[in-house]
Chain A
Amino acid sequence: MMKNDNLELAQVEAVDGERTGLAVEVSGLVKRFGERQVLHGLDLRIPAGEFIAIVGRSGCGKSTLLRQLAGLDTVSGGAIGLDGKARDALGDEVRIMYQEARLLPWRTVIQNVALGLSGSRTQVRRRAEEALAQVGLADRADEWPIRLSGGQRQRVALARALIHRPRLLLLDEPLGALDALTRIEMQRLIEQIWRQHAFTAVLVTHDVGEAVALADRILLIEEGRITFDEPVDLPRPREHGEGRFAALESRVLKRLMTVEALNPRNQLRGRVTEIVIDRVLSEVRVLTPAGVVSAAVPTSALRELSLELGAEVLAIFKSNEVVLATTD
């Protein structure tokens, strides 16, 4: 029997592997780093085999949640149950993929994939080769990681995670550093492998499009709590830019922006007092309790926002774009 088709090989494995996803139950999860509380009693249930995407602004606690699920940090309060058991008992069934591939540069690709695997040498080698074939890198097995591109390194990291047949795969923005095209390729690969192996997946991402493309459910974490939870009811594989895809993407995006806007810090409420129209970039002056604030707005956006004299607006600043200078 020829097994030269990666897909077929993977399916054969999934059938005799008969491992299924873990059900995750997080209740009242609290995480503190010193004085700072990052997670405020977070509750989350993930049915076995579901693909969850978590979006949120940086610092909202989404990566912290993932690290808790992975058992990388201790929990300050609350509980994490995996298939009804406490977190620690199932350590080897949970695998995490990081934003960087974190391959050992001094081990070849195949040695990296086989990391932490026990068994006879030939058996380990065979399993590692299979895992590499699944991510399409069988021919690079004996190379050093330094010779691979960023996308290839992430594929090796994926193979390294898959070889343990994880029942829960945690993805901490694993595609964040890749270029757009490689990212879409990797999304397809992850989706394909997830469907074959039926593990539970939790993806943390900045990219709403990625969340919509992959997830069964999209969660928004805001200030350490889940504030938005929406199922993605689109047939797979999903096409970026397709009508319902785009609609959902923009809805989640809008919700995400509202979260930014509703942040009580870095915003000033006021009334438009003057609009200086220019061909490309117009200036809108807003009278706020703190004084007049001037905003540069693309002229094309003026109509969309229906900005006119006397309109009530919020002037919002990104905290990382506020520059401070001394007063003397």
Chain B
Amino acid sequence: MNSSIEALRNGTRRLLPWLLPIAILLAWELSARCGWLSTRILPEPLAVLKAGWTLALSGELWTHIRVSAGRALAGFAIGGGLGLILGLLTGSFRRVEIVLDTTLQMIRNIPPLALIPLVILWFGIDEVAKLFLISFGVFFAVYINTFHGIRSVDPALIEMGRSYGLSGWPLYREVILPGALASILVGVRYALGFMWVILIVAETISAQAGIGYMTMNAREFLQTDVVLLGILLYALLGKLADAAARLLERRWLRWNGAYSSA
């Protein structure tokens, strides 16, 4: 009896965040049906769903998603990986910081999108250009948070580790890296969000496949439903990436009361 009430309450708590989106969808559907909204401006949700269904059946949708997600993840892996490595290096070694950090901080202030003309000149409008933009965009979020994470590891814990005979890699593995992890993951989450923003811009420049290509193409033919589908897909993928990052946080930071789900 008690447990069923508990389950009900749990279920309500899970459903609650979705209440508003569902209500908006319903209102939207209603206003489209009653003719208050022109389909040219905003097609009814059902039409978007239908467009999605047709594209999914033809297999076109999956190709676009695969291409887009592949681009995003490859860019993230390159930029994020470099950011992590350089952040660890500058955070751990004063000398590397002195040599590198000023340069990186200067480059950081360039908005990645300002580089588009230059990137097109360098790499043309190929995949490389898109990868470069995404990598460039996510690099700094990971780099800065990693650097900051390493630097803000509690010195008392490092001293304790040393007095217990840890040094070099064991000290890094036991104390410094786990201490920096929370901050690194904040960087990863931020980078994941930024990754999609850059991807969208990069894909609208020019592409032969991908969600951006799909929406730009649909715009040419005034297929508002497909355009909308593309936008929703971006939202969905963004949410997925964020959920993945949160899963990592929950797993790796479970020692910290603030992240445990209990």
Chain A positions near chain B (C-beta within 8 angstroms)? 70-72, 91-92, 95-96, 98, 100, 102, 104-108, 115-116, 144-146, 160, 164
Contacts and interface: CB of A to CB of B under 8 A. Distances in A.
Interface stretch (B28-36, B132-140, B155-163): B155-163
A115 B256 contact: no
Interface string B146-188: 0000000000110111111110001000110011010000000
B164 A115 contact: yes
Contact of A96 (B163, B165, B179, B254): B163
A92 to B, nearest CB: 6
A115 B174 contact: yes
A105 B157 CA distance: 10
A204 to B, nearest CB: 15
Interface residues of B, number: 21
A70 B163 contact: yes
B156 A98 contact: yes
Contacts, number: 49
A160 B160 CA distance: 11
Closest 3 interchain pairs by CB? A116-B164, A106-B178, A102-B160
A100 B159 CA distance: 12
B163 A106 contact: no
Contact of B256 (A72, A116, A146): A146
A91 B256 contact: no
Contact of A104 (B159, B165, B174, B253): B174
Contacts of A160: 164
B163 A105 contact: no
B165 A116 contact: yes
B164 A104 contact: no
Given A102-B156, A104-B174, A115 B255 contact: no
Q: Which of B156, B160, B170, B174 counts the most A-chain CB atoms under 10 A from its CB?
A: B160
A104 B157 CA distance: 7
Contacts of A98: 156, 160
Given A70-B163, A115-B161, A115-B174, A105 B255 contact: yes
B257 A146 contact: yes
A104 B178 contact: yes
A160 B253 CA distance: 23
Contact of A116 (B166, B178, B255): B166
A175 B133 CA distance: 55
Contacts of B253: 106
B67 to A, nearest CB: 38
Nearest to A157: B160
Contacts of A106: 178-179, 181, 253, 255-256
Interface in B228-256: 253-256
Contacts of B170: 116
